[in-house]
Every structure is written in C-alpha cells, then in structure tokens.
C-alpha cells in the first residue's frame, strides 16, 4: 500500500525515521512529507501569507523511501503532499511517532493529530501515533504497533470519517499490557510565562506548561427548565453509557496499555443544540 508519513517534530526526528522505515520494511510504499524543523503545538494552522517551500531529502530514511522537507506546518505538509507532490492518493496517512503524549485535550493543539486529520478530511484513513515521553528514545514498540494497526485496517477498513489517535507508554515492549480502545480524557495545564530579556534589552516571554490535572472530560449535561428535550435526554443517556463502558486515554496509559482513541473533525455539541435554541430564540 501507499502510505504518506508526516509529523510535527521535523524531518530529522528519530520518531518519524523509525516509523517510516518500519512501514517500508513491512512492504509498503512510503512517502515522507514533513516540516523541515520542529513545529509542535501548531494545531491545525496553515501557511497563507508566505510561500511554501519543499525540498527532497536523501540519506535520512531507507533508500526506498521518498522524502521531502517542507517549510510549513504539519497540516501544510499533508495538504501539499496530497495536492502537489504525490501522483496518486495514498491509502493511508500516518503521523508520528510524536516525541511526547497526545492525550486528552492535547489533541486540540497537536500538530501530529492535525496532520492525520488532514487525511480524514480527504477521506483517507489516518493514524496519529505518539510515544508518551519526551526523554524515552525507544520508538520500536510504537512503530511495530503502527505496522500492525495498518495491516488490520487494510484487511478491515473502518469506513468512518475518524482518525485513530494512538498513544504508546514509554516502557519496554514486554511491559506493555496490550492495546485498548479508550475515550478522550482531559489534561489541564498550569501555564507559566517566564519573562526574559534579550541581548538588546527587549522583553520577551517563554511559555512553560506543566500538567496540573488529568481525568475525564465528562459530558456537559444541559440544565435548567426546558434544557433537555426527550430526544436530547436519550442522546445524553446513550453517550453517558458509552463513557461508563470505556476508560479515558489518560487513565489507561498509566496502566501501561496502548490507547487507541477515535477522533472526528465534527465538533458540534449535539446534546446542547436544543438547549441553545431554546435559550437564544433566534429569529
């Protein structure tokens, strides 16, 4: 199969090299198009006000892999690959292996997840995969799981407009307990802006965030008179039942399981539609 590989850590990152080489060794035709430098936490940003530049690179990946570095964001890279570099639509988009977790609400900022979502927007099956540590350099288990997951999806496609967000614990392969389907959890950060002064005496700020709280991103229940119609309440009950059945990714990863979370680009809060309509009473 033809597999497009991208990331947000840049062309020289060990994670993408391990992933692309593993997919190539498994017999897939692999093309890499990724940022020419670190572009983490860029979300789904696009470059609109300056030109994009892409250069083919050699001697980074296995010889069978065609690779380009791009001056843009991760989303730019996938869009450019699909519209200008590749001669035909790939069978899969795989983004990663990210250096660090993409758990819970991290996905809102993640360039890794956004690159994969570009594939979903073009109706291409997509996977985002991350190793949940910045210091661990053992990407082998994550790459092996990516190869296994692509093989499963090749035989049995999901046929849904979702990407699979995979997080792998930073432990030896023998200590990984398995892989489970998990729902998205929540991670809150304590953001601290450190004020500094550059050599010319000008003030600048450096953002440093530490995880302050991890847990469940529970469904917000509409409250108040007339907030829940019978149809909305049925939807709330159904989603609550699913939430009870599946643990969150932030909970499951701590138990040394690989987490697989289906994500979608439709952000509509369906349980709030009737409530908002009743509150706003738009003409």
> Which run of H or of E encompasses 136?
none
Summarised one tens digit per residue, pLDDT across range 89-146 is 999 999 999 999 999 989 999 999 999 999 999 999 999 999 999 999 999 999 999 9
Question: Is 98 labeled as ligand-binding?
Answer: yes
Question: Is 198 labeled as ligand-binding?
Answer: no
pLDDT for the residue 101: 95
Place of tokens 């039942």: 241
Helix boundaries (H) for 156-227 = none
Buried/exposed code over 128-141 (b: 16+ C-beta within 10 A; e: otherwise): bbbbbeeeeebbeb
Summarised one tens digit per residue, pLDDT across range 177-219 is 999 999 999 887 676 788 899 999 999 988 776 665 556 655 5
Question: Is 110 labeled as ligand-binding?
Answer: no
Would you call 16 exposed, middle or buried from its count of C-beta atoms within 10 A (0-12, 13-18, 19+)? buried
Q: Give the CA angle between residues 74, 12, 162 to the nearest 5°.
A: 35
Domain with CATH 3.40.1210.10 in the chain: 2-182+255-262
Look up the CATH superfamily of 2-182+255-262. Answer: Survival protein SurE-like phosphatase/nucleotidase (3.40.1210.10)
């Amino acid at each position: 199969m033809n597999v497009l590989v991208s990331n947000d850590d840049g062309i020289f990152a060990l994670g993408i090299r391990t992933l692309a080489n593993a997919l190539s060794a498994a017999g897939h035709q692999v093309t890499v198009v990724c940022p020419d430098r670190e572009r983490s936490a860029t979300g789904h940003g696009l470059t609109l006000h300056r030109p994009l530049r892409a250069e083919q690179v050699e001697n980074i990946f296995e010889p069978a892999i065609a690779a380009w570095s791009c001056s843009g964001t991760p989303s730019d890279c996938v869009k450019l690959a699909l519209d200008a570099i590749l001669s035909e639509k790939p069978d899969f988009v795989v983004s990663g292996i990210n250096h660090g977790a993409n758990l819970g609400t991290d996905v809102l900022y993640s360039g890794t997840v956004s690159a994969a979502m570009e594939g979903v927007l073009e109706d291409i099956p997509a996977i985002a995969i991350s190793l949940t540590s910045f210091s661990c350099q053992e990407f082998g288990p994550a790459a092996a799981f990516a190869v296994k997951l692509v093989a499963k999806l090749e035989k049995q496609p999901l046929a849904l407009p979702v990407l699979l967000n995979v997080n792998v614990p930073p432990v030896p392969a023998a200590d990984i307990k398995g892989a489970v389907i998990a729902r998205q959890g929540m991670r809150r950060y304590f953001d601290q802006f450190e004020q500094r002064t550059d050599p010319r005496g000008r003030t600048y700020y450096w953002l440093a965030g530490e995880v302050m709280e991890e847990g469940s991103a529970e469904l917000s229940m509409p409250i108040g008179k007339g907030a829940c119609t019978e149809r909305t309440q049925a939807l709330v009950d159904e989603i609550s039942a699913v939430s009870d059945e599946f643990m969150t990714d932030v909970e499951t990863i701590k138990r040394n399981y690989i987490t697989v979370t289906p994500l979608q680009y439709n952000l509509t809060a369906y349980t709030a539609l009737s409530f908002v309509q009743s509150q706003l009473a738009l003409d």
